[in-house]
Structure 1
Amino acid sequence: MNVLLVFIPLSLLLEYVFHLPPLWVFASATLAIIPLADWLRKATEQVAERAGPTIGGLLNVTFGNLAELIIAIFVLLGGNTTVVKAQITGSIIGNALLGLGLAFLIGTFGRERQKFNRENAGQLNSMLFLVVIALLIPALFDFTERLPDYLAGSEAIRSNLDEYLSLGVAVVLIAVYGLNLVYTLVTHKDVFALEGEGEESTGKLWPLWQVIAVMLGGTALIALESELLSGALEDTSSQLGLSPFFLGIIVLAVVGNFAEYLAASYFARQGKLGLAVNIVIGATVQVALFTAPLLVLISYFIGRPMNLIFSSPLELVAIVAVALIVTTVTKDGEATWFEGVLLLSVYLLLALAFYFVTPAERSGAGSAQLPVPGVEALKPAA
């Protein structure tokens, strides 16, 4: 992982010294964010070990998806709200399918099965269905409340209603997520305790100055790399023949959550599958109930309003599929390697669909008609 830190100076050289094409800058900045996110996660864990599980949970809310949040803010500043919403969807399906699938496969490889806390998984699954409801309501509202065309300004009126509803939903989701933390970390923490919780840490604690330096330095470097990544996004998508939507829902989402995938796979292999489940599904819930609503609120403060209405119905289908399959494979409190294969297969199927999807780009001026991957070859000769 630390080898990838070399891409931090490399990305800066490619952008400001050699002035290479945006594709090279995008790739190097993407690779640079991965180890930075991992170091930020390590620093957060150091603070959590000092402060205890309750404060540690609150810190995980703040810093757990910080890399993803920073990337999204810079993409928002560029006016690409469609890409930001794609990144949100990609994080939800990536954590729950790719992250959990890898944890199941790696954790049970060579073993018959592993067990984990059913109550904790059940609570997280309930939150997943809240995610489905919260994201379906704005989309259905937008569809059912469309005003007739003969009413002057109907498009503007509907847009305002969508924004008001999205703001209200965002506030409710953040409040629910906060109450969920109180429920699982304070009032019912014994029920949701994970294996190994309460044991003395065998690792050496970092000095406080090192923790602060890593958190501040990591945040600043992630912001710098995110600015490079955002600036190269449009040109990279054109050069690769991919839509910014696909880059957001697959590439940016995986990069922003790579640290969670790595941590979950590591703990699953160590026999702590319950902790791995808590990491990836908890990160999924965190993205939907905290990060996404927070981005809606931030978008209004920076003058780039974003609602919670997803332009592609496939995104909503994907989120519903996530809730259903994750609930199905975790309800018995046991995991096998084949269940990991099932989760990874669903993610691969969705990724293929998103590769060929052509959503309407409403991210702002300058959006061009993008090529559809593989379609040019299907056109008959003139």
Structure 2
Amino acid sequence: MSSHLVKAKTLIPLVLLVFVPLSIAANFLHWGSSSVFVTSALAIIPLSIWLSTATEKIAVVTGPSVGGLVNAIFGNATELVIALVALNAGLVDIVQASITGTILSDLLLLLGLAMLTGGLRFKEQEFKPILAKVNGSSMTLAVIAIGLPTLVISTSNILDVVAIRNISIATASVLIIVYGLTLIFSLGTHSYLYEMGLADEDPPDVSANPAQASNRSKLYFWIVVLLASTIAVAFESDLFVGVVEPETARLGLTPLFTGVILIPFISDIAGYVTVIRLATKNQMDLTVSAATGDSLLVALFVAPVLVFIGFMIGQPMDLNFNPFEVAAMAIAVAVTNLISSGGRSNWLDGALLLATYLILGVAFYYHPV
């Protein structure tokens, strides 16, 4: 059975790659914006899976320190690339919403799917409470920091663009510093807390088994895959972003719903596959670390980087989020911290996280902004 699963895991991303040339043909042969929208969205899915796989393989070969840094940089590469392309196109509202959506997806959808599927196979699963505590505390700070500019602006009626920019830049600077501190903590001073590994594989021990030395020779291959996937994701994202506004409007979707629900769902298929696989193997330390770690990466690094890049390319993006987005992030962090604080999970915990995500998704669908 496991061999069939491995084959399926490899075959499905290969088959889905057919949408890459199809999306190119749809664009250059003018098959219509709907065709470009569908084919480019489907093309992003296998590319994100290959990008995620390459990141995992490189992390395994290079070991905890370098591998952790690779994960920190490329862990959310698909989401970052799509956001950069959308930001360059001036779709600031969709970019802001996608930040919110990715955080909600990581904390509620990914972790919920993991706890539900793992709980259906194992009556109760355990993970290190310290992981949930450290990541939960960091996420609480991140959401407070992201929400403060919105709170200041909404309570003082600030309309000065310069003031809003300065608040956003100051907040973004603090968030990046905090992210650097979390890397020092997880990869340096307290790396022993994260000894469960970077992927569900053991790093090759060349001295113990010479046959494993061949894995290192594959490092360059996976680096090429990583770079090629990143470039391909950027190209497909350009196609997707070019038609996303008219197509989602035609479907009756607001930019808020598109950014919060649709884009994270498309860009993080690889994450769903990973956490479900780990949870069904009863590797909940890795599962919780992956889901909460991704949300930290987005909140503490991706969002601030987008703020700085936006100002540099003439597409200013501030941290003045929709108040409902801030409320949704706060709800997600509070519910996740509450459920994961005990270091144990079951299928009901997963169902509660998924229910929270579903309720928020419905609210975003009907939100008029």
Do both share a fold (TM > 0.5)?
yes
Matched, 1:16 2:24: no
Alignment partner, residue 187 of structure 1: 189
Q: 1:254 to 1:209 in 2, by over 3 A?
A: same
Distance 1:187 1:262 in 2: 31
Distance 2:43 2:203 in 1: 33
Deviations 1:276-314 (A, max 9, x none): 111111101110001111111110111101001112x22
Distance 1:263 1:201 in 2: 21
How many residue pairs end up in the alignment? 348
Distance 2:254 2:267 in 1: 19
Give the letter for the 1:315 counterpart: E
Q: CA deviation at 1:136?
A: 1.5
Give the letter for the 1:105 counterpart: L
Please show how residues 1-382 of structure 1 align to structure 2 within 5 Å: 1-2=12-13, 3-17=15-29, 19-146=30-157, 155=159, 158-194=160-196, 199-201=202-204, 205=215, 207-311=218-322, 313-359=323-369
Q: 1:173 to 1:345 in 2, by over 3 A?
A: same
Distance 2:18 2:203 in 1: 35
**What secondary structure sits across from 1:79 in the alignment?**
coil
Return 90-99 or 239-248, whichever deviates more.
239-248
Are the equivalent residues in 1 in contact too, given 2:122–2:282 (CA < 8 A)? no
Distance 1:332 1:261 in 2: 23
RMSD: 1.8
Distance 1:339 1:89 in 2: 22
Are the equivalent residues in 1 in contact too, given 2:59–2:66 (CA < 8 A)? yes
Deviations 1:168-216 (A, max 9, x none): 1111111111111111111011133327999545987362331222012
Distance 1:53 1:73 in 2: 29
Are the equivalent residues in 1 in contact too, given 2:115–2:345 (CA < 8 A)? yes
- TM-score where L is the length of structure 2: 0.90
Deviations 1:337-359 (A, max 9, x none): 01100000000001101111111
Q: CA deviation at 1:57?
A: 1.4
Structure 1 gaps of 5+ residues are 148-154, 360-382
Deviations 1:218-273 (A, max 9, x none): 11110110000110011102221211221111111122222122111111111101
Return 21-30 or 325-334, whichever deviates more.
21-30
- TM-score where L is the length of structure 1: 0.87
More helix by share: 2
Are the equivalent residues in 2 in contact too, given 1:105–1:336 (CA < 8 A)? yes
Distance 1:168 1:122 in 2: 26
Structure 1 runs, 4 residues or longer, greater than 6 Å off: 195-198
Structure 2 gaps of 5+ residues are 1-11, 206-211
Distance 1:323 1:55 in 2: 29
